[in-house]
């Protein structure tokens, strides 16, 4: 936690450990393996997760030459229990988690279900199993046991449908029970700012689905966090009545029925680019589906009329990035 003096000591130890690993010829690709990535996904699922986990780990795996797709996240998430209810979705903070035994205690609990590869080498130079040997939960109100989880499944869910053929992500641990299945009328915006303005000026009503598009890796460019509109929905007390979907991403502090990383993104001509105000959007997080109620014939006609917007940036690094970046489902890595 930020208030702990141990952070400074750990920072110094990290520098020493890097030099030690280098001297022992242990390289990042020795540590970043399929096993260690799977461990990371399982631990984050147990913590309640951030949707950014999908972006970061997919991109790291790509750099390491390891295949990691959305299906793997969903596979692990379906069998990993949610053990920690962390802020903002829950009442506990990192200070509480630290007092309860921290990440090693969470990992030790997950081993009871065989969810971790204990042989995976870690940045300590030891295996995951060696790192957590003898660790126990010190506060059961913060870290629950596998037979008493907050939820039987992990923090995030991967969804697909005619609105997101390549997938999208929701932090289901932060979604209210009454919003897990939702059907609403689309209110479409082509930027975060326009959506935020509509929310705070009371243009969004109960039963709406706020659609924010052209905020993906290519359309942004850069895939901004949609924290302001999601916070505004909560602040306006609409989080039990309104959903938000976007090809952009979210902060780890987001809560509510906020579905992001919709792929393909709007700037690449994904179905989200074809949604119109008033379209009915069906969301079923339990069954991992997200669909717009529009016939294939109508969608095909809309596609004929769609024109790709001009790039927001035409020179410099951002322009080159926008031209080469992939959608969120692939980690927003460069082609």
Q: Which residues of 83-109 are buried (b: 16+ CB within 10 A; e: fewer)?
A: bbbbeebbebeeebbbebbebbbbbbb
Alpha-carbon distance 252 to 62, whole Å? Answer: 22
Which tokens hold the place of 327?
Answer: 């959608």
Catalytic position from the list 36, 173, 251, 263: 251
C-alpha 308: how far from chain center: 27
DSSP, res 152 = S
Indicate the angle between helix axes 70-79 and 52-63, nearest 10 degrees.
130
CB 318, CB 222: distance < 8 Å: yes
Residue 251 catalytic? Answer: yes
Alpha-carbon distance 177 to 194, whole Å? Answer: 28
Indicate the angle between helix axes 52-63 and 34-47, nearest 10 degrees.
170
Phi-psi category of residue 190: left, alpha or beta, with phi > 0 → left and psi -120 to 50 → alpha: alpha
Any idea which residues carry the catalytic annotation? Answer: 251
């Amino acid at each position: 936690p930020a208030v702990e003096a141990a952070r400074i000591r750990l920072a110094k130890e990290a520098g020493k450990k890097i030099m030690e690993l280098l001297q022992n010829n242990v390289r990042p690709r020795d540590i970043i393996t399929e096993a260690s990535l799977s461990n990371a996904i399982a631990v984050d699922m147990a913590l309640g997760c951030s949707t950014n986990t999908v972006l970061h780990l997919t991109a790291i795996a790509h750099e390491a030459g390891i295949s990691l797709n959305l299906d793997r996240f969903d596979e692990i998430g379906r069998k990993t229990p949610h053990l920690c209810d962390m802020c903002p979705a829950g009442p506990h903070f990192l200070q509480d988690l630290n007092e309860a035994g921290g990440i090693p205690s969470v990992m030790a609990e997950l081993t009871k279900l065989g969810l971790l590869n204990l042989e995976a080498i870690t940045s300590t130079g030891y295996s995951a199993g060696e790192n957590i040997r003898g660790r126990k939960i010190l506060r059961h109100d913060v870290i629950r046991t596998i037979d008493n989880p907050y939820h039987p499944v992990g923090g995030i869910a991967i969804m697909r449908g005619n609105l997101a053929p390549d997938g999208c992500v929701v932090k289901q641990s932060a979604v209210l029970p009454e919003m897990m299945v939702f059907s609403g009328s689309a209110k479409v915006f082509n930027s975060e700012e326009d959506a935020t303005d509509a929310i705070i000026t009371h243009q969004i009503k109960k039963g709406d689905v706020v659609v924010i598009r052209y905020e993906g890796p290519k359309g942004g460019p850069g895939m901004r966090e949609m924290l302001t509109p999601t916070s505004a929905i909560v602040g306006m007390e609409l989080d039990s009545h309104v959903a938000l979907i976007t090809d952009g991403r979210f902060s780890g502090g987001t809560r509510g029925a906020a579905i992001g990383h919709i792929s393909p993104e709007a700037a690449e001509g994904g179905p989200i680019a074809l949604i119109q105000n008033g379209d009915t959007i069906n969301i079923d997080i339990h069954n991992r589906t997200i669909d717009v109620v529009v016939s294939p014939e109508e969608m095909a006609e809309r596609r004929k009329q769609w024109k790709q917007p001009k790039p927001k940036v035409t020179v410099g690094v951002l322009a080159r990035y926008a031209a080469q970046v992939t959608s969120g489902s692939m980690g927003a890595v460069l082609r």
